[in-house]
A and B are shown apart, each in its own frame.
Chain A
Amino acid sequence: MNESDILARVKERFGARVLAEYTFRGQTAVTIAPETLRELLLFLRDDQETQMDWLMDVGGVDYLGYGSDEDERDWRFEVAYQLYSMGKNHRFRVKVAVRDETVEIPSVWDLWAIANWEEREVWDMFGIRFTGHPNLRRILCHDEFVGHALRKDYPINKRQKLSQPSEMILCEKVEWA
């Protein structure tokens, strides 16, 4: 099964809930709304044909001011989930459309434990919240940091003063419950 077959299978199953699809240099991706995310990821993971059992990466993208008029989209952010199937040796990308920072994405940390840290990084860098995340704190930047560094409206040369040592970090215990 190659990537365009996966795309066809997802479209067949999810129909109009696929907001957009991309094919570029043999790689395919779909964009969906946050409420479809868990259902789609579970489908791709458990379906016999796709078997996407690995979540390789989660990364946000800020499309503020991207391209020209023809690239106009109704959402500002996208969060891209890179899936990989160890058994079938194919990849697929699922992107979640996030209209603005008030929209929350359902967390998938209970499906893949790596999503715990990856989602913390998306929150840290883009300010996108994840519903149901056990410990949504900054991960790379300091607790005192104001703003979200990878947004396009955060200036690259901005400097902030950080003075306090960070708090106790043992509260991660909740993730083993």
Chain B
Amino acid sequence: MKRLDQGGPGTHVQPIPTELLTINIGPAHPATHGTLRLQLQLDGETIVNCGAEIGYLHRGYEKQAESTFYQLVIPYAERLNYMGPVNNSNAWCHACEQLLGIEVPARAQALRVITSEMGRIIDHAVCIGTNLVDIGALTNFWYMYNYREKIYDLYEELTGARMMVNYPRIGGVAMDAPDGWFESLIKVIDEMGEAVGDVRSLVERNRIFMDRTIGVGAITKELAIQHSVTGPCLRAAGIPYDVRKAQPYWGYEKYDFDIPTGEGGDTYDRTIVRFREMEQSVRIIKQAVASIPGGPVMVDDHLVALPPKDKVYNTMEGLINHFKLIMHGIRPPKGEIYSATEGGCGELGFYIVSDGSPSAWRVRIRPPCFANYSVFPKIITGGMVADAVAALGSINVIAGELDR
């Protein structure tokens, strides 16, 4: 419909003098799901200009990681993307292992794959659930959070903690799975697969959802390359890049799974890609459980792995080994490494510079959200405020990772 001052019906009405309105969204706003600040300039309801400010959750992670031992960074790493915490600590340990040049035992690799895919599922579940709440569909939120709880229960059974599990170690994982854990995992995963299908069928052909999301906040291929967008946001734009396929680690090349892609890169595609990735994660977990090898879950290297407790308490050598690792740490050689894994939101990279001491000289994190969010002001300009909220939820910006 033409506006009154553009010669639509009722042109006899004098143009109404208007001016641009500047509004703030955030840093504490329910739609940002974190601490982000947006400043929008509005012409009526249309966004004509947008500025994004980040840094409200900056905790000096990189400085902290430089000042503690490599193994003490593992719990911090989980606070990066706190929606799928284990993916980050697994990635950190993987980077340290690349720096040390050690290979993790096959069973530990499979356990890392399983815990990472569980992390991916809950990350996507939260993203989809909260995004749908933002655009008015509350039911799916409860479905998704219900199964997130069940996955937390599984983490608790495996590690003793629910959310920040501190499960991997440099050289393996902390403990093997308890008896019967894989059976309950498969049971939950099967139910989860059904729940994902249920929620997907609720939204996929839903008229309101489609109207709210199709063509909204589209990231084109060119824009994605310009901004190094990775993860589901990139795959929704039609570029099938996934570190798990491109440069496999932890034996991902053994598993049969697809990379779901979209076409338009809009909010609808991003949501559907996440649904399909959850289904692929279910597939990977099933294959990993079915083919899990036996053997140790920790590398046999006394310079990296803590000795078993009975050796620490009963032998002198074990006690000395334990003391040396705790007090003097793990010492990688001088060198630098860039290690990339696929986190919940995209390529999670760690660039570590080592000076041969037990703490890193420099830790630089490539957080996927930083790149994904940098494109956000561009994709919402020209749209409505309500569209900005829908697009923000589907990019899945995790402030902990964005600001470090």
Q: Does B334 contact A (CB under 8 A)?
A: yes
Contact A27 B51, beta carbon cutoff 8 Å: no
Identify which of B22, B246, B351 gathers the most chain A CB atoms within 10 Å of its CB.
B351
Whether the Cβ atoms of B51 and A170 lie closer than 8 Å is: yes
Contact B58 A141 (CB under 8 A): yes
A156 engages B63 (CB within 8 Å): yes
Q: How far is the CA of A72 from the CA of B58 in the complex (A)?
A: 33
Distance of A71 Cα from B361 Cα, bound (Å) = 13
**SS class of chain A's interface: helix, strand, loop or mixed?**
mixed
**B contact residues, range:** 35 or more
Of B74-82, B224-232, B309-317, the one with at least 4 CB within 8 A of chain A: B224-232
Report yes or no: B334 in contact with A67, Cβ–Cβ below 8 A: yes
Query: In the bound complex, what is the Cα–Cα distance between A173 and B48 (angstroms)?
Result: 10
| Mask: chain A, 111-125; 1 = CB below 8 Å from B; 0 = not | 011101110000001
Pick from A54, A93, A139, A170: contact of B41, CB under 8 Å = A170
CB-CB under 8 A from A172, the residues of chain B are: 51-52, 377
Give complex CA distance A71, B239 in Å: 42
CB of B49 closer than 8 Å to a CB of A: yes
* Given A24-B337, A149-B60: A169 touches B370 (CB 8 Å cut-off): no
Task: Given the known inter-chain contacts A89-B247, A117-B374, please indicate yes or no for A54 contacting B52, CB distance below 8 A.
Answer: no
Q: Check if A129 is an interface residue, CB within 8 A of chain B.
A: no
Given known A-B contacts A113-B374, A114-B228, A170-B41, A140 and B404 have beta carbons under 8 A apart = yes
A134 contacts partner chain B, Cβ-Cβ < 8 Å? no
A28 CA to B136 CA, complexed, in Å: 50
Q: Taking the complex as formed, is B93 at the interface, i.e. its CB lies under 8 A from any CB of chain A? A: no
Most buried by B among A22, A71, A140: A140
Are the CB atoms of B226 and A113 closer together than 8 Å? Answer: yes
| Chain B residues with CB below 8 A from A93, complex form | 338
Interface size on A, residues (CB 8 A): 47
**Nearest neighbor of A122 in chain B, beta-carbon distance:** B364
Q: Is B39 in contact with chain A by the CB < 8 A criterion?
A: yes
| Per-position binary interface string of chain B over residues 47-91, scored 1 when its CB falls under 8 Å from any chain A CB and 0 otherwise | 001111111001010111011000000000000000000000000
Please judge, given known A-B contacts A57-B349, A57-B351, A141-B58, whether A150 and B63 are in contact too, CB under 8 Å. Answer: yes
Cβ A114 vs Cβ B55 within 8 A: no
Docked Cα-Cα span, A118 to B227, in Å, equals 10
Over the window 162-177 of chain A, the binary record of Cβ atoms lying under 8 Å from chain B Cβ atoms (1 yes, 0 no) is: 0000101111110010
| Residues in B neighbouring A71, C-beta threshold 8 A | 334, 355
How far does the Cβ of B149 sit from chain A's closest Cβ, in whole Å? 33
Whether A53 and B338, one on each chain, are in contact in the complex, defined by CB atoms closer than 8 angstroms, is no
CA distance A113 to B247 in the complex (A): 25
Residue picked from B37, B64, B377, B404, most chain A C-beta under 10 Å: B377
Q: What CA separation (Å) do A141 and B356 show in the bound complex?
A: 30
B378 within 8 A of partner (CB): yes
CA distance A128 to B39 in the complex (A): 27
The reply to whether the CB of A29 lies closer than 8 angstroms to some CB of chain B is: yes
For the complex with contacts A57-B366, A67-B355, A112-B227, 4 further pairs of A-B residues with Cβ separation under 8 Å are: A149-B60, A156-B63, A170-B41, A176-B381
The 8 closest A-B pairs by CB, nearest first: A59-B364, A169-B51, A57-B366, A140-B55, A24-B335, A113-B226, A170-B51, A140-B58
Complex A-B: 23 CB contacts under 8 Å: A24-B336, A53-B225, A54-B225, A54-B228, A55-B228, A56-B349, A56-B366, A57-B351, A57-B366, A59-B364, A62-B362, A71-B355, A82-B349, A89-B246, A112-B228, A113-B227, A139-B54, A142-B55, A150-B63, A150-B66, A168-B22, A169-B51, A169-B52
